[in-house]
Amino acid sequence: MNSTHTDQILDWYAANARDLPWRAPDATPWSVLVSEIMLQQTPVNRVLPAWSAWTARWPTPGALAAEPSGEAVRAWGRLGYPRRALRLHQSARAIVERHGGEVPTSHGDLLALPGIGAYTAAAVASFAFGQRHAVLDTNVRRVLARLVSAQEYPPKSQTKAEVRLAESLLPLDPPTAARWGVAVMELGALVCTARSPRCVDCPVLGACAWQKAGRPAYDGPPRKGQTYAGTDRQCRGRILAVLRDAEGPVGKPALDVVWSDSVQRERALDGLVSDGLVDPLDDGRYALPG
Ligand code: SF4
């Protein structure tokens, strides 16, 4: 990898980037933050309508902070991993309390917001404010593993070496570094995909260490599958869907019918309550958080 390869990826991005609304010049920092939280575990095509609805309903952190957290959970719909809705709501309230309703610009202030981790803080600082930070999501980690480290897949959990590598590749000029981050991410999403990379379309095919090494097969520990059917997560999703679709609190029988395995169902419900996604009421009914 040298500066020519950096330019090749930037040029490829300029010609091939998807036209996503959170990348538009007029996208607000808040809308970028919402997109980053949604995109963490949900594909772009499912995020697009949810992001549009959220940012139309709550165009500022203050607008979301003014509503009960249950409304955030309700509007999260079927995006999955609904604790993210609570995290966004908590962040919105913290932004109002600590920063007068404006998303903070500094990486440290972003990281200090509830539920905002290193990745999201770096992504918002880069994409909303044009700063220079290494942004390492699964797409970027996979591209760098192949392109530079000759590995088909990155390690299971992010290592310090990956962060050092990503930082060493960042262009010096902050706006270019920010564009480079999103460009590598897009290359991973569109070309250097997990299962079948389209190397013939890759702008840095000639520089790719994995290609030069003869595309060695992955030989690390087993990678996590994406099974969903029959999991506690699916059970939680069904319970939450009942509460989202109801006007108000619902009785236990309405939740019991969504899942036949009572042990798993009770475990899922307990988990939702302890995560703050469901409120058990004194009268025995259940509701979204107030
Ligand atoms: S050549 Fe293939 S494996 Fe290497 S970075 Fe490009 S798409 Fe990924």
DSSP three-state, residue 116: coil
Whole-angstrom CA distances from 279 to 233, 264, 285, 286 are 18, 19, 9, 6
Closest CA to 245 of 77, 22, 28, 3: 77
* Residue 269 domain flag: yes
CA of 200 to the centre of ligand 1 (A): 8
Tell which one of 1, 6, 199, 218 to mutate to probe ligand 1, the residue whose CB is within 8 A of the most ligand atoms: 199
Tell which one of 16, 152, 201, 208 to mutate to probe ligand 1, the residue whose CB is within 8 A of the most ligand atoms: 208
Closest CA to 120 of 106, 135, 131: 135
Tally of CB atoms within 10 A around 260: 8
* Residue 225 domain flag: no
Take atom 5 of ligand 1 and give the residue whose Cα is closest. 147
197 and 244 part of one domain:
no
205 and 117 part of one domain:
no
CA of 144 to the centre of ligand 1 (A): 9
End-of-domain residue from the set 99, 127, 155 = 127
10-residue mean pLDDT profile of the chain (290 residues): values are 88 97 96 96 94 97 97 94 96 98 97 94 97 96 97 93 96 96 96 94 96 89 74 93 93 93 93 94 94
Ligand 1: residues within 6 Å at CB?
143, 146-147, 191-192, 197, 199, 202, 204-205, 208, 210-211
End-of-domain residue from the set 92, 127, 162 = 127
End-of-domain residue from the set 95, 127, 159 = 127
38 and 79 part of one domain:
yes
pTM here is 0.89
142 and 207 part of one domain:
yes
CATH number where 93 lies: 1.10.340.30
Catalytic residues: 36
**Ligand 1 atom index nearest CA of 215:** 3
CA of 142 to the centre of ligand 1 (A): 9
93 and 38 part of one domain:
yes
At residue 226, the pLDDT reads 64
At residue 225, the pLDDT reads 63
- Domain enclosing residue 255, as ranges: 232-287
* Residue 226 domain flag: no
Take atom 1 of ligand 1 and give the residue whose Cα is closest. 205
Place of tokens 């957290």: 69
Closest CA to 73 of 253, 290, 232: 290
At residue 100, the pLDDT reads 98
Q: Are 243 and 286 in contact (CB under 8 A)?
A: yes
Tell me how many domains the chain contains.
3
